[in-house]
Structure 1
Amino acid sequence: MVALVIACIYLLLACIHVYWVLGGELGKDAAIPRVPRSPEAARGPAGPDMVPAFTPSRGGTLLVAAALAAVAGMVWARAGLASAPYTGQALQWAIGVVAVLMLARAVGDFRLVGFFKRITGSPFARLDTRVYSPLCLALGAGLAYVAIAAP
């Protein structure tokens, strides 16, 4: 059951990224970290002095969607819900690596993302604290469980 929920979340995230590749705008602005235009702006609330930290390319966004879908496939394979070109310990280790990456994402880079980010005040920062980082923490824990406990 845990594997199915995790795989569905990863597929949903992959679909959102494909939506953005196809030109969708909903939620896109809140998915990009923002940085202060100037050092003085870092101390104030988000506003025109906050700019996107980067501009994702369509190719990069599509690559992220493919990676998210691949994780869903690995989880399904590990749980015995689908077949995979590699199984057993290789699959277990691959899922374990993704689990560690998700837990690291939850902790963050101590600047833009994660529970310990320093740049706050933007829509992304608020959602990162309330949704994105807790989701990464839960997914990391769930992936660790799937890597260890699944057949």
Structure 2
Amino acid sequence: MTALALLLAVVLLAIAALHLAWAAGSTFPAASERELVRMVVGFKGQEHMPPPAAAVLVAVALAFAAYVALALASLCVWPLGGWSLTSAGMVLAFVFLARGVAAYLPAWRMRVPQQPFARLDRRYYGPLCLVIGAGFTLLATGYTG
């Protein structure tokens, strides 16, 4: 479980760092804001990135998720009761699994049809969310193989 928690934390913190970079005005990995919007937002007609505060909020949520992953593997202290840690892990599992499944639903595709986001969502973002969700499921249920 230690390796899984560390891997989840590294991935989540890397994604959090990317959101912080976007909040600061970076367009990485795109050449322009417009190109970045088409890659990571996906809403038809959207021309600008969401406000920096939104990106910071996502980064904080991802950093919290990394902390939960580490706490589930007893790699850091969880200040509340054990039931709350398990609950946090299961909520995160649900959120990531739901987001991963959404990538393949027609209703989601109608909401975010913009290319290349739609393709990237099915090929990378959705599967990554499914893997992260599965990781949280394993950590939160205490599965040891």
After superposition, the CA RMSD in angstroms is: 1.9
Establish whether residue 32 from structure 1 lines up as the match of residue 21 from structure 2.
no
2:125 to 98, 109, 132: 132
Report the counterpart of residue 33 of structure 2 in structure 1: none
Give the aligned partner of residue 56 of structure 1.
Answer: 50
TM-score by length of 1: 0.79
Deviation at 1:84, TM superposition (A): 2.2
Report sequence identity in percent. 35
Moved over 6 A (4+): none
C-alpha separation between the residues in 1 aligned to 2:15 and 2:89?
17
Tell me, which stretches of 5 or more residues in structure 2 are unaligned?
30-35
Which structure 1 residue ranges, 5 or more long, are not aligned? 36-50, 109-113
CA drift of 1:72 comes to 0.3
Question: Residue in 1 aligned with 2:11?
Answer: 9
Conservation of the 8 A alpha-carbon contact between 2:42 and 2:114: no
Please say if residues 14 and 66 of structure 1, whose CA atoms lie closer than 8 Å, have aligned partners that are also in contact: yes
Distance 1:100 1:53, change over 3 A: farther
Q: CA deviation at 1:83?
A: 1.2
Q: Give TM-score, length-normalised by structure 2.
A: 0.82
Give a deviation string over 1:11-67, Cα, whole Å, max 9, x none. 0110000111111011333111132xxxxxxxxxxxxxxx22874111111011000
Select the structure that is richer in helix.
2
The 2-side partners of 1:13 and 1:140 are apart by 15
SS of the residue corresponding to residue 88 of structure 2 reads helix
Q: 47, 68, 75: which is aligned to 1:74?
A: 68
Corresponding letter in the other structure for 1:94 = A
* Residue among 110, 116, 137 paired with 2:105: 116
1:74 shift after superposition: 1.0
Q: State the alpha-carbon separation in 2 of the partners of residues 53 and 104 from structure 1.
A: 27
C-alpha change, 1:55 and 1:23, in structure 2 (3 Å) is closer
Contact 1:32 1:54 in 2 (8 A): no
State the Cα deviation string for residues 63-98 of structure 1 (Å, max 9, x = none).
Answer: 110000001011111111111222411101111001
Larger Rg: 1
